[in-house]
Each structure stands twice: as C-alpha cells, then as structure tokens.
C-alpha cells in the first residue's frame, strides 16, 4: 500500500512490477498442465508472422508443447512482413515421431515454400493417413488440397485459393475455423486466434478452449 | 487451365503458386501507399509476442512504416513465450525525431522491462507532451499511468493492472481499444488486432481501418 500519491515519476511504481507478475502468472498458469499432445509448427521464409506465432502463443498458454520448426537449413526464418524469427530447430533435425500434430501457417511465399519442402509433405500425408492432426490456415489449406487430402472434406481457406480447394473436391466453408476429422483449416491472419483455439479444442475440449479465449480477452 | 485432373501429387500444382502470389499482392497492396506517419514499436525481453508483432503486421499492410526497436543493447529480443525475434534496430541507434508515434506491447517481464528503460520513458513523456501518438496494450498502459499521463483520461488495460490505472486517476473503460486524444490503449493479446486497427484509424481514418479489418478477415 502506498503511503502517498506523490512520488518521483522517474522511478517505476513497485506495484506495477508486482501486478505485472500476477498478470504473467494468470496468463500462463495453464502452461503448467502436463500435455499428452505435442505440436510441430512449420516456418518457411515468407510465412505470415501472426498466423504462425499466434499458434505458438496460444498453445503455450494451453500447456501444449509447440516446436517451431524452420524448413530452411538453419532455424532462422524471415516472415512475409520482414520479421526475422529464430525457430527452435530446423526440419533436418526433427524427429517427427515425437509429435502428434503438424501445423502450417499461410503467407507468401511461405505457402509455396512449405509446399516445396518434400520431407514435410511426406510427413503431412503420413500424419493424415495415421489419423493424426494436420492444420493449416490462409493459403496453406491449398497445400492439403494439392496433396489430395481434402476431397469431400469441409474446409476453409483464404478467398484467393478457394478455387484450388474446389478443383480438388473440397466442400468449401466460409467459417473462421473448420474441424473435419483430423483436419483443421482456417481463413486468414484475422482468424488466427479462432484457428489456434480450434487446435486447443481438438486436444483439450471446448471448455478449455473457451476458457483460454476468455483469458486472452478474445471473448469478452 | 489444367488439361487433366490427374497429375503427380508429388509436384506442386503451378496454380497454387500463382494464386498464392495473387493473395500476396492483395494483402499487401495497401503497403504501397506513401505514408505521412512512421511508427516505432518497442520490444523488450518478455514482451508478448502477438501484441507486439500484430502491430507490425497490420501497420505493414496499411503502408505505415513501423520500426521494431529492441530496448536491449542488441536487436535480439526473446518474447514472453520464448520466441526469439530480431528487431530492426536497438534503441541506442534510434533517432526519435524521425517518428511520430511510439507503441508499447505488454507481456511480462516485457512491461517492467520497458518501464525500466529511462531513455524510452523520457521520449514517451515528450511525445505525449508534443501531441504525438503514444499507444500501449495489455499491461503496458500501466506505464502511461505510472508516468502520470492517464489522469482523467479514458483508457483500457489488462484486468490485472486496472487498479494501477485507477490509482493514477484514469477513467477505466473495458473496451477492446480506446482512443483518447493522442493516447490509444487496449486490453490483451486477444485484442491486438483491434488495437492495431485503432492505430490505423488514427492515422488514416475509419474507412481505411475497416477496409483493412475486412481484408484480413477479422471482420467477416
């Protein structure tokens, strides 16, 4: 408790520090959960910054380990808005068997760069075949379509690649995020939070996802 | 136009590449505008990843140059969710006179780390005094409160620091983003897009901000 309202404005109020750490504890408390899930999030040069990192942020809060994987030969990636991000590892060092979900952000040229990564494409097809979760947002669902995984499947994507999904037999849905079996798809940077929350819901149920959505004040 | 539906799934569909680039052009077309504004966005260790980078992303799309400034001695910053980001520059190399707005993301210990950066605090007070825009989200509006800038001012912040704003005379508003004169404040990671769009609205007007919000499919 402060004794006086008058104080030196050049020095931070100690209460600011204390309350900030309370804030930190409250927003990350779920990260202490032991998760049965483990996500691999793939970053290519030109990936959309927020589509990629919102997933990492929300899964961290949900207590779901999320490894950021560069598809370059080093962990350094430059996103589509010229943000340099250092991923946790590079794809050549990844043991896919440690993971149960693969997540692809959109962005350009991030999406074609991911599509051109043959080792990743092979694993996307395998994960899908084995019933493990694959998720993509914005232009990246077109990769699933191009691999032949969306035929007869309800899916969402960026308006600019809708025809590609239709050409490959997808049932196009203009919702912020769509979960169809073990495939989650979403539409754009502005739907990155619903996309990430759909992944949380897939892993932990609706109640956990809603609680997290309220915690970050996406739902108010 | 494809001549046949049957093709080798191991090779990307050329249409994917072409449509992706159309997507890129559409989402970044506004960045060709010549802007009269220039933003400095400050990153400290422990800043909230999405609160920081959503601003950079949205301003890029709006064509407003946004320099990501580390308050460390180097451009390298590690965010509150352990993402390593390389900023454009470090604060010691910044000429504040080139900018007309200063933006502070929240996160912990990002917020106290920003508060402890005396050269930045001096400039925040100066910018405010000179009528230039200052903006903060989540826990960071508590910095403005602590500097004595929010007395009698409508402002929003994270629930965990509301008492600090009230103690310093702010009129607390629980809206996603609040513009009060040359001060914009917002509440949390889940309100980062409304916060960034409020900055766009401040610079370019409501119509431009709404158009951008629809472009990223935040508004549908």
Mutate which: B18, B27, B178, vs A, most A CBs within 10 A: B27
Q: Which helix (H) or strand (E) holds A197?
A: helix A192-204
* pLDDT digits 0-9 by tens, B60-109: 999 999 999 999 999 999 999 899 999 999 999 999 999 999 999 999 99
Q: Can you list the residues of chain A whose pLDDT is less than 70? A: 1-7, 10-11, 14-33
Residue-level pLDDT at B111: 98
Residue-level pLDDT at A31: 47
Residue-level pLDDT at B4: 46
Residue B197, pLDDT above cutoff 70: yes
For chain B, what is the domain count? Answer: 1
Q: Which of the residues B47, B138, B157, B203 is marked catalytic?
A: B138
> Does A29 map to a domain?
no
Residue B2, pLDDT above cutoff 60: no
> Does B63 map to a domain?
yes
> Does A203 map to a domain?
yes
Q: How confident is the model at residue B175 (pLDDT cuts 50, 70, 90)?
A: very high
Distance from CA of B107 to the nearest CA of A (A): 7
CA dist A68 and A146 (Å) reads 24
Whether A86 sits inside 8 A of B84 (CB atoms) is yes
CATH classification of the domain holding B98: 3.40.50.880
Whether A56 sits inside 8 A of B81 (CB atoms) is yes
> Does A173 map to a domain?
yes
* The two three-digit tokens of residue A125, written as one number: 């097809």
> Does B32 map to a domain?
no
Instruction: Average the pLDDT over B23-45 and give the result.
Output: 72
A4-17 core/surface letters (b: 16 or more CB in 10 A; e: else):
eeeeeeeebbebbb
- Which residue of B85, B121, B139 is in closest CB contact with A85? B85
Residue B23, pLDDT above cutoff 60: no
Question: Over chain B, what is the mean pLDDT?
Answer: 91
Cβ-in-10-Å burial (0-12, 13-18, 19+) of A45 comes to middle
What are the residues facing B77 on neighbouring strands? Answer: B85
For residues B166 and B141, the answer to whether their CB atoms sit within 8 Å is no
> Does A8 map to a domain?
no
For residues A103 and A39, the answer to whether their CB atoms sit within 8 Å is yes
Residue B5, pLDDT above cutoff 70: no
Kind of pairing between the strands at B177-180 and B183-186: antiparallel
- Residues of A annotated catalytic, as ranges: 138
> Does A22 map to a domain?
no
* pLDDT digits 0-9 by tens, A27-63: 444 445 578 999 999 999 999 999 999 999 999 999 9
Instruction: Average the pLDDT over B109-136 and give the result.
Output: 98
> Does B193 map to a domain?
yes
pTM for this entry: 0.90
Residue-level pLDDT at A47: 98
Domain containing residue A206: 37-215
Instruction: Average the pLDDT over B147-164 and give the result.
Output: 98
ipTM of the complex: 0.89
- Which residue of A19, A108, A218 is in closest CB contact with B20? A108
């Amino acid at each position: 408790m402060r004794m006086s309202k008058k104080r030196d404005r050049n020095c931070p109020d100690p209460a600011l520090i204390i309350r900030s750490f309370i804030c930190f504890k409250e927003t990350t408390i779920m990260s202490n959960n032991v998760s049965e899930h483990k996500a691999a999030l793939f970053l290519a040069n030109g990936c959309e910054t927020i589509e990629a990192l919102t997933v990492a942020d929300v899964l961290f809060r949900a207590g779901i380990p999320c490894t950021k994987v560069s598809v370059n030969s080093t962990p350094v990636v430059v996103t589509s808005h010229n943000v340099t991000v250092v991923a946790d590892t590079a794809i050549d060092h990844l043991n896919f068997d440690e993971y149960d979900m693969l997540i692809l952000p959109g962005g350009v040229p991030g999406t074609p760069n991911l599509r051109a990564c043959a080792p990743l494409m092979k694993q996307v097809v395998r994960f899908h075949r084995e019933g493990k979760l694959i998720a993509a947002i914005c232009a990246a669902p077109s990769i699933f379509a191009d691999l032949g995984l969306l035929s007869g499947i309800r899916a969402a994507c960026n308006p600019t690649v809708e025809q590609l999904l239709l050409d490959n037999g997808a049932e196009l849905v203009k919702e912020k995020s769509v979960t169809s079996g073990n495939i989650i798809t979403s539409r754009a940077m502005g739907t990155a939070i619903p996309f990430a929350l759909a992944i949380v819901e897939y892993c932990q149920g609706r109640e956990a996802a809603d609680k997290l959505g309220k915690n970050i004040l996406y739902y108010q």
